[in-house]
Amino acid sequence: MKKAFVLGHPINHSKSPLIHNYWINKYQLNATYEALDYDEQHLTEFLEILRDGTFVGGNVTLPHKIEIAKLCDELSPDAKLIGATNTLYFQNSAQKHAVLIGANTDMFGFLKNLDRESVGWDENLQTAIVLGAGGASRAIIAALIQRSCKNIVLLNRTLGKAKNLRSEFSSLQITSKLQADILENFAKYAPGADILVNTTSIGMNNTHFDNLPLNKLPSKCLVTDIVYTPLITPLLRDAEELGLNVVGGLGMLLHQAVPGFEKWFGVRPQVDDSLTNLIVSSLN
């Protein structure tokens, strides 16, 4: 039996067991997927368990995405670019000294969700506004760079954090131009935006941005949120009321799970309506 996991602290909130066990049942696999709660002090202990062959791999969620990356043998190109890992698997697993790979599938999930829900969103992509400069923003910035976005504006409550993130990506010799500014200057950049992405936690529990003039955005602008609880965040609701196209964050959660499942179990799963409905019902 092949066993996989999701690792975090705390972990009870994770939807990963629902997603992966749905696929295990759908494809009738001899496999398990479980949630594991380890704090930072016990990560090394967990890695010993992982390397002894108990698991074929797993997912990593908060607060361990960066620390686990430091403990892997190798990182995938996406994980290197983003600076964090959310998926672990073994290369040459049949050999005695298997190589532990740390990957990041958040960029894949973000792009797959937009490609599915807003076809052609990246055609002639000129300017993106990214709200937030925390860990979640890294995958979004990397995704926009991959789709050749010419100008990416990072807006954060504190300017220093946005500048630091800009410097990190600018040092990678990317073709996209990165700008950093404070959130209060949103109106300055809004008229030229093709896409607005919220990477902050604002939206959870129906929290909302103060003084964010969405009416300054052009009618062509796509507004998307990586928050998926609620499914329609206040940001998305306000954008809809202005007639803007919006995409919620649930699809990113579902699609980012696909590559890991395929690595561990050898089956590429499909994100279907039954899975979506299952996760939606679990949010209520």
**Residue in 249, 275, 214 with CA at minimum distance from that of residue 117:** 249
- The answer to whether residue 65 is catalytic is yes
DSSP 42-84: GHHHHHHHHHTTS-SEEEE-TT-HHHHHHHSSEE-HHHHHHT-
Q: By the 8 A CB rule, do 229 and 236 touch?
A: no
CA gap 258, 44 in Å, rounded: 27
**Strand residues in 157-267 grouped as ranges (E):** 177-182, 195-198, 202-205, 222-225, 245-247
Chain center to CA of 252? 7
CA gap 181, 211 in Å, rounded: 16
Catalytic residue among 2, 15, 26, 65: 65
If one counts every other C-beta atom within 10 angstroms of the C-beta of residue 44, the result is 11
Half-sphere exposure of 277 (CA within 13 A, CB side): 3
Tokens of 260: 């890991």
Amino acid making up residue 259? P
If one counts every other C-beta atom within 10 angstroms of the C-beta of residue 31, the result is 21
Return all residues near 136 (Cβ < 8 A) that are at least 6 apart: 106, 199, 200, 226
Bridge partner list, 179: 153
- Which residue numbers are catalytic? 65
